[in-house]
Structure 1
Amino acid sequence: MTGPLLQVTGLSKSYTSGGGLLRPGRRATVVDDVSFVIERGEAFGLVGESGSGKSTIGRLVLRLVEADAGSIVFDGIDVRATRSADLRRLRRRMQIVFQDPFSSLDPRVRIGESIAAPIRLHRLRSRDAVAGRVAELLALVGLSSEQASRYPHEFSGGQRQRIAIARALAVEPDLIVCDEPVSALDLSIQAQVVNLLADLRARLGVSYLFISHDMAVVRHLATRVGVLYAGRLVEVGPARRVFEDPRHPYTRMLLAASPVPVPHPGAARRIVLGEPPSPYEASQGCRFASRCPHAVPACLAAQPPLDAYGDEGRQAACIRAAELPTSEGARDDEALMSEAYRRRMTLLRDARGTRPA
């Protein structure tokens, strides 16, 4: 089928908290008019601070949470309009890998059975062929078939995440939502899991919605990137272009604040991002203006739309996008491509080919 694998348009979600019999609750907007597409075989990185709405978007796409507004079209199918048995069949093609691999696995169930259960549910193999398929999936993620009889607590964090990936692959999906899949792991194990995901995309052609707050990890895996701030996309484009020459001040500050495991005196200074706005507070203008070093009075007048910038399908929600200096001119001003970020990327590249822990 032609067209993108996933097309999200105008997606919005709010929650109401507090309140009582005589007092209305407070309404928090966590996802605000978000639109993006994921092409077949593409890894789309969704990056932003904690609380920016990234994980909520992943759950909205899979309809684990119902959206207030907007459309979700997966391979030509309206996800929000799909019901009951049709939705279950559709979800076979859309899977998720959660942040905490231990809580996503049933501690009472052997990992072989955890992987086999969705195969049986969707009747993807005959009864006699299920065990062989489980062994294939374990080998695909760097584990052995002998480990199928073990329980989750007998594995390390990195191994448990590999098991979660194998379980997601068991139903042969077209799209996997990776919700902070490496943030709970040590750096060296992070690199192994990220490299595994990259290899699986190359071998199987699976697409990813890769959600993370770690700019270095997203740069290593994603082909295109969407930067999310306070529930809104502020920049979208090819990963290489966004990281080489970001057009939104928030993207620049995220890059400058990227951590490094072993800092040294020669590293560029860190950027203090300050506190994000409250989701309960409405803003007429740009929500990033109070933290932006490039803000002007016009930024407070109206929320800038996510407009096209340059070529290659780039978009930026900043009225000064064309005025910002290039990455070379911005180094001293914002430590854009800081030594810390480059060293972190080097660690990830050096880990490619490392054997599974």
Structure 2
Amino acid sequence: MDLALIALSARPLAASAARAGFAALSLDLFADLDTCAHAARCVRVHKKNGCSFDGDDLVQALATLAPEGLPVVLGGGLEGDPDLMARIAERNPILGNAPATVRVLKDPVALAALCGHLHIPFPAVSLDGNTAATFGGAPVLEKKIGGAGGGHIRRRGAGDVSPPAPGHYLQAEVDGTSMSLLLLANGTAALVVGTSRQWHAQDAEHPFRYGGAAGPVALPPAFAADMHEAALKIARACGLVGLISLDFVVAADRWFLVEVNPRLGATLDIFDVDPLPPLLGLHLAACGGRLPSGLPSPSEAHAAEVIYADRDIVVPVSPWPDHVADRPPAGALVAKGAPLCTVRASGPTVEIAEQRLRVLVGDIRQQFDLARVEAPAS
């Protein structure tokens, strides 16, 4: 075994590890067919509080299955629990950003202060109530500190000035297109891997839940240089290493940084493709201080969308198409609101890749008798 991979859904990491020739132990909440196919060993860890790790079960599984000292790579789902990250690191070194670094970047007040110091536009935040002095009457979102995937975000009702729930914070809502910049950093320098456009998978309970991404796309020319420089400033100031992503909201006349994700994420589906080298291999090298002199662009555009169950679904005995990933096995129960699968498409341009994706997503939704949804705005 070369390394262990831990994420709520480890499939993108496991696929990149297999592409790089690594034998990986995968620990996640799903152990779906694709993750099991890519990993040398695939284990499903117990859930806690909906869609998060049971920390004790995760640590026990790692201690049982991974030798002491086996390096660990983390994906999404642990940034809200730096203490759990520290427990992992006591026995198995984390190849990525340290728990203390993640704690700072996921502290909304600390990140807002850092952005203010670096002159990076960042929406106003508060751990107290919604006041005119803080938000000036702008719409306000309530978010979970360290939350991932957007399912935790809610819009505050007009006139609601109450403080956020424990473990949550308030942030001014800003309108525009959601874009994510993927960087490869070595602690002192960083390279841009690519930019993707993202959209939401909205329903009544989850208005800001992550829906999908497409790329590579270009940043708006008027802001591209400033946004690139902002990302590099954050990476250098925090000494970030490995693959990281920075989420922006871009409007016609302005842009904001809204989140920093100091770990590998969902856009591996977009960028871990030929002719780029396996991104997990680049991540490991960058954690050791090594950056390539440059990176090629993908030969095609790619798009991926997560389909969520709108009711409890028992997966039938039928073959999954090749363009579907994160496939649960036949007989598995997918609870209402949980991810059912990910659909992927490619094409010579982003527009064509997205058009193909819409057709393929529609086919899967029809197969499972799921409600039709509107295509995301381009």
Alignment TM class, shorter chain as reference: under 0.3
Q: Which has the larger radius of gyration?
A: 1
Higher RCO (CA 8 Å, separation ≥ 6 residues): 1
Decide which structure has greater strand share: 2
